[in-house]
């Protein structure tokens, strides 16, 4: 379905005031929502979204769904994702990709999107989000370390969590989308004030739209999960 033909969707309720983002006082402000997706592997090492989790500022679950695979799966990555074949069937409650894509688009519409290596998740969901409303902890300089030749290098979420949230190991063995979404939100919150201080303007259009990802795979590979 083309973007011009997509049905108008009901926008989710928003929290706070626009004063938080530099707009007119008293107007609705966006929520901060953290997203994570767990993937299974398709042919030619293609990532296929299998689980989606979204949490709010406090880590409360906003959305959680298992996704029926789009195409054959050659590796469920159970030792990492905890996902088994039966979990991705309609009988067990897994939703179609189109249903999940639409529901996630509705929830994210107009809100601030937090996460780690978000380009991977958005590409898998075939969604785009306004750059001004993305808080990708894999890409902010606060969370990078100096590599060779003076270049800043993204770090894994588990490394950031241990360093900034507390000396607690995460992603030990199988872990799900909600766990990683909560971890990304907690990491982001440790630098929320510094991160938001230079953000003084949000574009007039906060629509989440569907697209076929055109970014090269190398860009996603540069963001370690």
| pLDDT per residue as tens digits for the range 163-179 | 888 766 555 667 789 99
What parts of the chain have a pLDDT lower than 50? 1-27, 200-221
CB 70 within 8 A of CB 60: no
Q: How far apart are the first and last CA of the chain?
A: 31
Give dist(CA 110, CA 206) in Å, integer. 5
CB 66 within 8 A of CB 84: no
Give dist(CA 122, CA 50) in Å, integer. 13
For residue 28, what pLDDT is reported?
53
What DSSP state is assigned to residue 163?
Answer: I
> E strands along 67-171, which residues?
112-115, 127-128, 134-136, 145-146, 152-153
Give dist(CA 109, CA 130) in Å, integer. 10
CATH hierarchy code of domain 31-221 = 3.30.420.10
Question: Scanning the structure block, which residue is given the tokens 């509705």?
Answer: 106
Burial class (CB in 10 A: 0-12, 13-18, 19+), 212: exposed
For residue 64, what pLDDT is reported?
98
Nearest alpha-carbon partner for 116 in 144, 94, 95: 144
For residue 18, what pLDDT is reported?
35
């Amino acid at each position: 379905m083309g973007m011009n033909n997509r049905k108008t969707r009901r926008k989710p309720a928003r929290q706070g005031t626009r004063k938080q983002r530099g707009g007119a006082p008293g107007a609705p402000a966006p929520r901060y929502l953290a997203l994570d997706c767990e993937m299974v592997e398709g042919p030619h090492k293609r990532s296929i979204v299998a689980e989606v989790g979204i949490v709010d500022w406090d880590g409360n679950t906003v959305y959680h769904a298992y996704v029926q695979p789009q195409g054959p799966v050659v590796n469920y990555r159970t030792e990492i994702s905890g996902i088994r074949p039966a979990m991705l069937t309609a009988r067990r409650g897994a939703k179609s990709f189109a249903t999940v894509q639409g529901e996630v688009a509705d929830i994210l519409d107009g809100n601030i999107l937090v996460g780690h290596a978000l380009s991977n998740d958005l590409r898998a969901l075939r969604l785009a989000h306004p750059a001004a409303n993305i808080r990708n902890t894999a890409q902010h300089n606060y969370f990078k370390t100096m590599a060779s030749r003076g270049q800043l290098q993204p770090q894994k979420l588990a490394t950031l969590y241990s360093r900034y949230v507390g000396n607690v190991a995460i992603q030990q063995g199988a872990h799900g989308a909600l766990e990683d979404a909560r971890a990304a939100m907690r990491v982001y919150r440790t630098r929320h004030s510094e991160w938001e201080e230079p953000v003084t303007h949000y574009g007039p259009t906060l629509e989440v739209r569907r697209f076929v990802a055109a970014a090269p795979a190398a860009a996603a590979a540069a963001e370690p999960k």
